[in-house]
Amino acid sequence: MTHALVTELAPGEGLFVDGRWKAGSTGTFDVEDPATGEVIAAVSDGDAADAVAAADAAARAFPAWSRTAPRQRSEALHRTFELMIADTDRLAAIIALENGKALSDARAEVVYAAEFFRWYAEEAVRGGGSYGPSPAGGTRTIVTRRPVGVAALVTPWNFPAAMATRKIAPALAAGCTVVLKPAAETPLTALAVARVLREAGVPDGVVNVVPTTDAGGVVGAWLAHPRVRKLSFTGSTAVGRLLLRQAADRVVNTSMELGGNAPFVVTDDADVEAAVAGALIAKLRNGGQACTAANRFYVHADVVDEFASAFGAAVEALRVGPASSPETQIGPLISRGAVDGVAALVSAAVDAGAVVSHRAPVPSGGGYYYPPTVLRDVPSGAEILRTEIFGPVAPIVTWTSEEELLSLVNDGEYGLTAYVYSRDLQRALRIAEAVDAGMVGINRGVVSDPAAPFGGVKQSGVGREGAREGLEAFEEIQYLSVDWPL
Ligand code: NAD
């Protein structure tokens, strides 16, 4: 049975290709509400042939869209921003229904997602380029930017709106046309965003959406398609590696936003109350299912008891439940498999000597709940400190010297986000500059901002999204050498 909220999205005809809804070639797949495990919609399942049809549509739409005046593209993006904001409650309800996150988190996501359209509406009209004499004289050098071409976008389930708009908005601003494959857990939000873009007047074929259970088949068909020149992927490092290998065959331009393992550092001179407030956001926004989620807490020995007891008390008081309840602060995880994965990491940590110091209650009955949990005395080699937990568990490690801290923090394959709390800004900056991370929150528990370059170092990714850099990721540079005999 299709949930009343999603009937208008035409999920049974869930492929959005060339401005039209159409049924997939291979039937439908079920989408669940993680709070109950119940099926909320059956969505069309696209295959490789559908993927090719979508890329063909994007290729047909490319010449006109790329030549559309920047001001006109900007206005379409601005209308999309306004329509999304006006529709916040309904879009948030769809996100909460298929992803499970609390309504407050879902509303915040809609606003964050919409802001990419506003930011890139503003950037679309700021064309760059340069013109000047060559050093030897006799020529002029002109440098211009142009859209890279048809872009394939692949997004995860944890921010089903924002991860899509963070790619669609800059791609359209640059003059690219796109094919999007949302995660199979959360296709309804992407379909809702497609509807908004259409309502905003984005021409047919500029944005195409192909939900599927055959991710490899659909994305593989795009990477093999002669007109697809860009892959922008957000997801796990494991899948990112696989796609980088596939993209190599046709030397497709890639942007990779991959996994994280963010350290959250609290120094002995930190404002502990502020650190606890920041930790609650950095760890528990989206129930810990964020690539930026604080994954390991390094707290100085002088303040660890004060921090752990205040943070633990706040964690114990969290209201965990379904998004349908207005009191809920933390929703369920995305799936049974996710709950099992988090439980396995926690029990391995406990076997290695960690202690469960605080835990919030969770609803009994159905739904994929894992209790928000604080772990103390976590040994520095524990697996939970090396693996992306993607759940509401906070392992705390104690440190005493900055040198020891930095070697612990920088040990590992990821380098997406870090957080540092210290009252001494110079010290916080010193630590931040020594951390291998693309983004560092200083005395803040959140770093995401459409106007700032988001992305990681090491195996957390390649390239940046958001800011001017996010637009340039969808552009190529062309240089013209002009004979100029003066
Ligand atoms: P995932 O890698 O399993 O899936 C991401 C997307 O890739 C989905 O659309 C999925 O269907 C698709 N996919 C899976 N296998 C594929 C294949 N063989 N070929 C082509 N596509 C394939 O990740 P997930 O579980 O959906 O999301 C969680 C991960 O995403 C975490 O590691 C998280 O850190 C990361 N993430 C990173 C950022 C960032 O900006 N760096 C943001 C959000 C999430």
Give pLDDT tens digits for 34-59.
999 999 999 999 999 999 999 999 99
Output the pLDDT for position 13.
Answer: 77
Which are the catalytic amino acids?
257, 291
**Amino acid, single-letter form, for residue 111:** V
pLDDT confidence bin for 2, thresholds 50/70/90: low
How far, in Å, from the CA of 239 to the mean position of ligand 1?
Answer: 7
- Same domain for 470 and 372: no
pLDDT tens, residue by residue, 424-474: 999 999 999 999 999 999 999 999 999 999 999 999 999 999 999 999 999
pLDDT at 8 over 90: no
- Same domain for 472 and 442: no
**Burial grade of 479 (CB within 10 A; 0-12, 13-18, 19 or more):** exposed
Count of structural domains within the chain: 2
User: Tokens 């407050």, residue?
Assistant: 104
- What is the rounded distance in angstroms from the CA atom of residue 486 to the CA atom of residue 483? 9
- Same domain for 292 and 433: yes
Residue 484 domain-assigned (yes or no): no
Residue 443 domain-assigned (yes or no): yes
Contacts of 250 (CB under 8 A, 6+ apart): 223, 224, 226
pLDDT at 374 over 90: yes
DSSP codes, 72-125: HHHHHHHHHHHHHHHTHHHHHHHHHHHH---HHHHHHHHHHHHHHHHHHHHHTT
Q: What is the chain's mean pLDDT, rounded?
A: 96
* Residue 220 structural domain: 2-259+460-479
- Same domain for 268 and 290: yes
CB 158 near ligand 1, within 6 Å: yes
pLDDT tens, residue by residue, 384-407: 999 999 999 999 999 999 999 999
CB 257 near ligand 1, within 6 Å: yes
Residue 455 domain-assigned (yes or no): no
When pLDDT is averaged across residues 95-113 and rounded to a whole number, the result is 97
- Same domain for 175 and 133: yes
CB 333 near ligand 1, within 6 Å: no
- CATH number at 309 reads 3.40.309.10
CB 461 near ligand 1, within 6 Å: yes
How far, in Å, from the CA of 241 to the mean position of ligand 1?
Answer: 11
- Same domain for 119 and 146: yes
How far, in Å, from the CA of 484 to the mean position of ligand 1?
Answer: 50
Q: What residue owns the CA closest to ligand 1's atom 21?
A: 215
Q: What residue owns the CA closest to ligand 1's atom 9?
A: 183
pLDDT at 1 over 60: no
- Same domain for 210 and 317: no
How far, in Å, from the CA of 478 to the mean position of ligand 1?
Answer: 32
Give the chain's count of helices (H) and strands (E): 14, 20
pLDDT tens, residue by residue, 147-195: 999 999 999 999 999 999 999 999 999 999 999 999 999 999 999 999 9
How far, in Å, from the CA of 101 to the mean position of ligand 1?
Answer: 18
CB 259 near ligand 1, within 6 Å: yes
CB 258 near ligand 1, within 6 Å: yes
